[in-house]
Amino acid sequence: MAYQLQLGKKTYAFSDLKTLLARATPLRSGDQLAGVAAHTAEERVAAQMRLAEVPLATFLEEQVIPYEEDEVTRLIQDRHDAPAFAPVSGLTVGEFREWLLDYETRAEHLKALAPGLTPEMVAAVSKIMSNQDLILVAGKVRVVTKFRNTIGLPGRLSVRLQPNHPTDDPKGIAASILDGLLYGCGDAVIGINPATDNPAACAELMRLMDRIISEYEIPTQSCVLTHVTTTMQCMERGEPVDLVFQSLAGTQAANTSFGIHLEMLREAREMALGLRRSTLGDNVMYFETGQGSCLSANAHHGCDQQTLEARAYAVAREFSPLLVNTVVGFIGPEYLYDGKQIIRAGLEDHFCGKLLGLPMGCDVCYTNHAEADQDDMDVLLTLLGVAGCNFIMGVPGADDIMLNYQSTSFHDSHFVRQSLGLKPAPEFEEWLWRMRIFSRENRLLPVGDGHALLAAGGTALAHGNA
Amino acid sequence: METPDSWTRLRDFTAARIALGRAGGSQPTGPLLDFRLAHARARDAVLAVFEPQELAGTLREMGCDPVVLDSCAPDRATYLQRPDFGRRLSNDARETLSALARQPGPDLVIMVSDGLSSLAAMEQSTPLLQALLPRLEADGWRLAPLFIVRHARVAIQDEVGGILSAGLSLILLGERPGLGSPDSLGAYFTHRPMPGKTDAARNCVSNIRAQGLPPEMAARKLHALLTASRRQGLSGVGLKDDVSFLPDSASPPPLAG
């Protein structure tokens, strides 16, 4: 169906819903690269005005990618919960924005609404929202998940400890893990991006983290961020797998290019649940996403990258993950050109994921060919802290020496926790107190050479090649 | 005011920025400025204005007579946002090449581009070619003129090689700078090049720089790979890389600053 808007003497026409969504998207290089962005600033606002008039119910009738062609569309449609949708079923996109901002719309309403929302509805409303709207509404939503600790509680911000090493050297990785733990990081997960997808090498890293977590009785979980099929091989061999990782995208074609489909993820989740390694809850999946992945796989169907990103969240929520991480600036300036675009995208992704009921974290990051620097990351980090983001990354000195990009550091987590009064996950906080890493005021305590972790660190390092 | 960390000895195990110490919970001034310096160097490498004539002058001293071409990307900002422009030649470049085409085509065409690091192209391409060209000439390779292509991406060598009907096409271009490696060069080649070939049909030698794979080593590796490609009649995932006498190039970069 075509959409039109009269602005003075000019008529703007948009051939279908996906085109209207694309033209209404705040400016970003990836949509220009795909040839779907608005041609002028005025056309963009015209599209936003027209989009604001579209009834939410329209999104149940007009698909951006056909049902017959795409299993992600089928998942979205088949799982739609009509009773949950009822409170907003009569609203337009513009009215929905106001409903979300209303004083009376609270956490419990948003939690109940989540199964009634589709990614396209959420993407649509985000496109007409300002940055402050995205922060305010996301801040109302709490998504709490559990494995060996509790992530996402109000007033808490967790950190993924990311101890990558360019050759997966176990001693090098152990050194970064100890550094991160001594800075109070690692409550979301200790998660390694391996340099190789080889199952034996991944298993060695799994055993290294398992030893450290068991020896120091750390209430957290580990993950090697390798392809789901590699993790499944490791589980078959009895390796200590806590969380199953996978990158996700919002179209079936892009997921095919990642070598995955929904049934494979179902099977992996069942295997991980069968290991019974969690103590508090059954959230065993860790997913990563990022705007632009469908376009880079040439699988975007003429849609804008932010709508497709929201569709990836529909895939994620099918599997009740512990963590969903939007790796916002990793993909490069051809998708998000500068700090302004990265900041906007980070807020959109966090908002859309939270509204769909996901435990959203964000890798606040950029590459060296993007028009961005650490000051831009400080801004996004602060905004996400205010918006109630579940977790961020902790990379030594913010410099990932394996993936060659910049993220947030262990020190950054102290900045944001200190400035906004945020605490680690409660079980992990207790551990930090017990280990005399944090004071009761959650300040870093002086750590001497004889600290248990360093003596133990000696153990971890000594066993590094086992 | 600064609280140093007691575990600085762990730095022996990794080039990661660990045991930085702290001021309150924040980074001390030294590590903060070290990081900023490394990022500044990487940014300078990405944004540095590439002077093809300067590189051409250096290459002429080696006895080459390079021809300068442009991709479809008119400037640096467009180049960074439109990778598709960097993969295609400008109309002028295509005409220049067509005028140079002869039958039969050359065995190999080599080109140099700034890519994502002008610094890499300026620093590494000359020593690499100095070591590579004599080896190829000694083996009797028929080489096309050397080209310098401004604002190129991997894949443009397929179009260049296709127009010239070259047997193989090799591009040397600046890689995306890491914080500790602003000057890293990459080399990519294709057998029977033509537009439309994918990454699976290309071979790559990366991290070419003094602290990574030194240019002289890279030249030996490329010479062996190109020779194998010509002999086996293919490139890409099917090419057997039997260049095992070379050291591993994946050692971690030292911290900058």
Best mutation target among A399, A417, A418, A438 (most B Cβ atoms within 10 Å) is A399
Q: Which residue of B has its CA nearest to A335?
A: B81
| A167 contact partners, CB below 8 Å, separation of at least 6 | A195, B250, B251, B252
Q: What distance in Å separates the CA atoms of residue B150 and residue B133, rounded to the nearest whole number?
A: 22
**CATH code for the domain of B125:** 3.40.50.11240
Dihedral Cα A398, B18, B33, A336, nearest 10 deg: -10
Q: What distance in Å separates the CA atoms of residue B145 and residue B66, rounded to the nearest whole number?
A: 6
What are the CB-based long-range contacts (under 8 Å, 24+) for A437-440? A437/A181, A437/A182, A437/A184, A438/A184
Q: Does residue B245 register a pLDDT over 60?
A: no
- Determine contact, residues A321/A391, Cβ cutoff 8 Å: no
Domain assignment present for residue B26? The answer is no
Best mutation target among B1, B2, B3, B13 (most A Cβ atoms within 10 Å) is B13
Domain assignment present for residue B173? The answer is yes
Tens-digit pLDDT profile for residues B23-59: 999 999 999 999 999 999 999 988 888 999 999 999 9
Q: Which residue range is the domain that position B131 belongs to?
A: 52-238
In chain A, which residues have their Cβ closer than 8 Å to the Cβ of B82? 33, 334
| B144 contact partners, CB below 8 Å, separation of at least 6 | B100, B105, B106, B108, B109, B110, B164, B166
Domain assignment present for residue B105? The answer is yes
Token pair 């050297």 in the structure block, residue: A169
Instruction: Tell me which residue of A384, A409, A33 sits closest to B17, measured CA to CA.
Output: A409
Across A432-454, average pLDDT: 96
User: Any idea what the Cα angle at residue B73 is, between residues B70 and B78, rounded to 5°?
Assistant: 150
Tell me if residue B89 falls in helix, strand or coil. strand
Cβ neighbourhood burial of B150 (10 Å; 0-12, 13-18, 19+)? buried
Sequence-ordered strand ranges (E) for B19-135 = 67-70, 108-113
Sequence-ordered strand ranges (E) for B97-241 = 108-113, 147-150, 168-174, 185-191, 202-208
Radius of gyration of chain B (CA): 20
Token pair 């009822």 in the structure block, residue: A86
In this structure, chain A runs to a length of: 466
Cβ neighbourhood burial of A155 (10 Å; 0-12, 13-18, 19+)? exposed
User: What pTM, to 2 d.p., does this model score?
Assistant: 0.91
pLDDT at position B201, please? 87
Tens-digit pLDDT profile for residues A168-182: 999 999 999 999 999
Whether the bond between A333 and the residue before it is cis, its omega within 30 degrees of 0, is: no
Across B74-80, average pLDDT: 92
Considering only CB atoms, B252 lies closest to which of A167, A369, A448, namely A167
Q: Does residue B251 register a pLDDT over 60?
A: no
Domain assignment present for residue B28? The answer is no
| B73 contact partners, CB below 8 Å, separation of at least 6 | B79, B82, B85, B86, B151
- DSSP secondary structure of A157-175: -EEEE----TT--HHHHHH
In chain A, which residues have their Cβ closer than 8 Å to the Cβ of B11? 175
What count of Cα atoms within 13 Å lies in the side-chain half-sphere of residue B8?
A: 7
Q: What distance in Å separates the CA atoms of residue A208 and residue A171, rounded to the nearest whole number?
A: 9
Domain assignment present for residue B17? The answer is no
Strand partners, B174: B185
Closest Cα in chain B, distance from residue A461 (Å): 9
Best mutation target among B3, B37, B81, B251 (most A Cβ atoms within 10 Å) is B81
Chains A & B: contacts with CB separation below 8 Å: 146
Domains held by chain B: number: 1
Closest Cα in chain A, distance from residue B222 (Å): 23
Tell me if residue B28 falls in helix, strand or coil. coil
Strand partners, B188: B171, B204
Across A429-452, average pLDDT: 96
Across A36-48, average pLDDT: 98
Tens-digit pLDDT profile for residues B142-192: 999 999 999 999 999 999 999 999 999 999 999 988 898 889 999 999 999
Domain assignment present for residue B191? The answer is yes
In chain A, which residues have their Cβ closer than 8 Å to the Cβ of B16? 163-165, 172, 175-176, 179, 396-397, 399, 401
Position A1 confidence tier, pLDDT thresholds 50, 70, 90: confident
Tens-digit pLDDT profile for residues A369-414: 999 999 999 999 999 999 999 999 999 999 999 898 999 999 999 9
3-state SS string over A12-77?
EEECCHHHHHHHCCCCCHHHHHHCCCCCCHHHHHHHHHHHHCCECCHHHHCCCCCCCCCHHHHHHH
Q: What distance in Å separates the CA atoms of residue A389 and residue A397, rounded to the nearest whole number?
A: 21
